[in-house]
Amino acid sequence: MAAVAVRAVELGKTYRIGERQSYQTARDAIAAAARRRLRRPNERRHAGPPGRSAVDHEWIWALEDVSFELDEGEVLGIIGRNGAGKSTLLKILARITEPTKGHAVITGRIGALLEVGTGFHPELTGRENITLNGAILGMRRAEIDRKFDDIVTFAGVERFIDTPVKRYSTGMHARLAFAVAAHLEPEILIVDEVLAVGDAAFQKRCMGKMGEAARSGRTVLFVSHNLAAIESLCGRAIWLDGGRSVADGSSSDVVSRYLSSSLSVLSDHLWPDPDLAPGNERVRIRRAQVRPEGGNPDDEISVTTPFVIEFEYWNMRAGAHLNLSLHVYNEQGVVVFNAVPTEEGAWQGRPFPRGLFRDTCHVPADLLNDGLHRIELLVVEDLSRVIHRMEDVLVFEVRDADDNRDGWYERRPGTVRPRLAWETEHLLPVDSGGHGDG
């Protein structure tokens, strides 16, 4: 029977809304630790920090009564919407923050990658930060020296290893941070959304490294919105919602429950008042809609239906150069395609006056596979600067078409299912000996 690597017991964490956490002196921290040891167990059960009443201030539970056990060598995925408590849980397990109530028992050395470039000093070079970060994570100097070349190669920053990391891109930060944490070879590896940054090759290396860690018997906790990665890497998953654990089981079952509950069809939104509409001082969104070509948002979209994605928005600044960027995801969190108005000839490259605009993206039939899809909207200024982002602004379902099965009655694999042109030609007859005439 495998030993327990992580045991979480009724973990809870509260935060005061709008409060900035102040820094403590070493004396304050020691005194607070002493008070916690002397406090009776039942004093930890409250709706706010010790000595505070829930009615005196506005507090929220970022995490509440989360309990689970994780055996050595087990790979656990943690899923949920933004704000569900995933990162809070990992920070408690990594000993970065203390729970308001409950406790966690960790057996083994932890390597944690919770934020891009965590622990990096911007003025130090990549080489110096590897040494510093490795020491912070518990690596001996000889171990760092032995693994240095592998870390640099994995991160792909050979040319910039002696450059201060303040000049690194976000992707370079992510690659180097993950490389250091992964090559620490801890008994427990904690990773939070590392696949959100970096190119496809880097993401593949990350998945391979985490899979290697799991096969070698190390314990992995992995938070990601990429549900395909969760199902591929993790045998077990926990779904957090509103700070609570609502499902714990095989990754395929938990992901299926999460998708059916969290992605309701939302194909039409209207915000008629610009003062209350989502956006900022540069742009405000009036309408978001997905519908069949020539139809209504309530009409069905099948795999054979051409449809449009339409946005209306107020440009609030005269002379702005705007364009929209749409990311369409399938229900596993995989980007199916990104659409930008490069073929739009009327306004692209021209300064926008103040006023209401409409952008319509036409999606052809026989492109998407059946299933739920969601759309992320980015409003971009000057072709490079994102000035407003809306996740899951639209959610719609593409249904299978009965007349499009061609004798195949199971769900077709893949993120897309285009109808492609085929040609079959008879080139040569074959004699009884299996050879052509010529």
The per-residue pLDDT for 178 is 78
CA distance 134 to 183: 9
Instruction: Look up residue 383 and give its two tokens.
Output: 């072709």
Cα separation, 292 vs 297, in Å, equals: 7
Least confident segment among 224-233, 298-307, 352-361: 224-233
Task: Encode the chain in three state secondary structure.
Answer: CCCEEEEEEEEEEEEECCCCCCCCCHHHHHHHHHHHHHCCHHHHCCCCCCCCCCCCCCEEEEEEEEEEEEECCCEEEEECCCCCCHHHHHHHHCCCCCCCEEEEEECCCEEEECCCCCCCCCCCEHHHHHHHHHHHCCCCHHHHHHHHHHHHHHHCCHHHCCCEHHHCCHHHHHHHHHHHHHHCCCCEEEEECHHHCCCHHHHHHHHHHHHHHHHCCCEEEEECCCHHHHHHHCCEEEEEECCEEEEEEEHHHHHHHHHHHHCCCECEEECCCCCCCCECCCEEEEEEEEEECCCCCCCCEECCCCEEEEEEEEECCCCECEEEEEEEEECCCCEEEEECCCCCCCCCCCCECCEEEEEEEEECCCCECCEEEEEEEEEEECCCEEEEEEEEEEEEEEECCHHHCCCCCCCCCCCECCCCCCCCCCCCCECCCCCECC
133 pLDDT band, cuts 50/70/90, is: confident
Among 272, 274, 279, smallest CA distance to 387 is for 279
Question: For the chain, how far is it from start to end, CA to CA, in angstroms?
Answer: 67
pLDDT at 197 over 70: no
What are φ and ψ of residue 363, in 5° steps?
A: -105, 125
Please give the single-letter amino acid code of residue 329. Y
How far is residue 55's CA from residue 366's CA, in Å, rounded to a whole number? 56
Per-residue pLDDT for 8 more than 90? yes
Count other Cβ atoms within 10 Å, centred on residue 369: 19
Give the model confidence (pLDDT) of 202-215 as tens digits. Answer: 767 777 777 777 77
**pLDDT score, position 210:** 74
Give the model confidence (pLDDT) of 284-337 as tens digits. 999 999 999 999 998 889 899 999 999 999 999 999 999 999 999 988 888 999
pLDDT in the model for residue 391 = 87
Query: pLDDT-based confidence at 1, cuts 50/70/90?
Result: low
338/345 Cα distance (integer angstroms): 19
Buried b (16+ CB within 10 A) or exposed e, 103-131: ebebeeebbbbbebbbbbeeebbbbbbbb
From residue 171, give the alpha-carbon distance in Å to each of 117, 227, 327. 10, 21, 19
Exposure string over 142-180, b if 16+ CB within 10 A, otherwise e: eebeebbeebbebbbbeebbeeebeebeeebbbbbbbbb
User: Could you tell me how many residues make up the chain?
Assistant: 438
- In angstroms, the Cα distances linking 257 to 217, 228, 260, 336 are 28, 14, 5, 22
The pair of structure tokens assigned to 29 is 């921290």
Using CA atoms, how far apart are residues 179 and 156, in angstroms rounded to an integer? 10
Task: Please give the pLDDT value at position 11.
Answer: 94
* 347 and 324 Cβ atoms separated by less than 8 Å: no
pLDDT at 81: 81
Residue closest to 114 by CA, chosen among 94, 135, 134? 94
pTM of the model: 0.61
Express each pLDDT in 245-295 by its tens digit.
Answer: 999 999 989 988 887 776 667 899 999 999 999 999 999 999 999 999 999
pLDDT for 368 beyond 70: yes
Tokens of 287: 């309408």
Q: How many CB atoms lie within 10 A of CB 267?
A: 20
Structure tokens at 273: 């008042």
Residue 361 has pLDDT above 80, yes or no: yes
User: Residues 290-302: pLDDT tens digits?
Assistant: 999 999 998 889 8
Give the number of other CB atoms < 10 A from CB of residue 286.
20
Which candidate, 109, 144, 140, places its Cα nearest to that of 218?
109
| Domains recognised in the chain with CATH numbers | 67-262 (3.40.50.300), 268-404 (2.70.50.60)
